[in-house]
Amino acid sequence: MALQRIQHRKERRNKILMGAVLSFLMVASGFGVYLSGRGAQGNTVADHGVAFSFDYQTQTYTAKLGDELQQFYYLPSSVAAIHMPDDAASLLRSSSAVIITFDPSLSARNLQLMDLIRFDLSSSLGRPVISAVTNESAMYALPVVACDNATAQVPVLSWEAGEEAAVERQGACLRFIGNQSGFLQLRDRLLYEYYGVYEE
């Protein structure tokens, strides 16, 4: 009887000890998840004299340019090789509004990126941004605007499908040629130029 009681106590003690260990592991893993979420925006890198924070959750870089935080998909050195016309930034800075026009027959993925880019530029350029399309579309109830409609006061940013990311100037119109990730590279290249990141 006494031996059975001792055996029962050992089993009970072992169960309590195992429960305590499992409880500790569960609490510790929950705490680890909490801390890893807080550190999602921890890596800081400097590029062209600007400090960028990388956010693992959104896969974007954030930097303070001008008076506000701006979000980017690429660092300045990653998109610096894309040629930008010399006076592109001054054309945008001196404008009273900007028209963004795109081909509504782009692929579904490119159209999603165009929606994102139009939204981003409307909040980043600090002036009214008017959305337009290059030809009529049942999907987009927007005005039809081409490079021919561009003026110095209201330049046109025309986004077109192409193999390699490139920017061309045609009067007061900037033609952005690319697709998918190239569109995001062009967006970042334009904003870096606009905010003077490449100026020495």
User: What is the structure's pLDDT at 148?
Assistant: 96
User: What is the structure's pLDDT at 15?
Assistant: 77
Measuring CA to CA, which residue among 69, 61, 98, 85 is closest to residue 188?
61
Q: For residue range 66-95, list pLDDT tens digits in order.
A: 888 999 999 999 999 999 998 999 999 999
User: What is the structure's pLDDT at 38?
Assistant: 46
Token pair 């807080």: residue: 38
pTM to 2 decimal places: 0.77
Q: How far apart are CA 54 and CA 71, in angstroms?
A: 10
Mean pLDDT in residue range 150-176: 95
CB 189 within 8 A of CB 131: no
Amino acid in the structure at residue 92: L
Mean pLDDT in residue range 9-23: 73
Q: How far apart are CA 96 and CA 138, in angstroms?
A: 29
Q: Which two tokens stand for residue 96?
A: 């009273």
Q: How far apart are CA 178 and CA 184, in angstroms?
A: 9
Q: How far apart are CA 136 and CA 169, in angstroms?
A: 24
Q: For residue range 94-121, list pLDDT tens digits in order.
A: 999 999 999 999 999 999 999 999 999 9
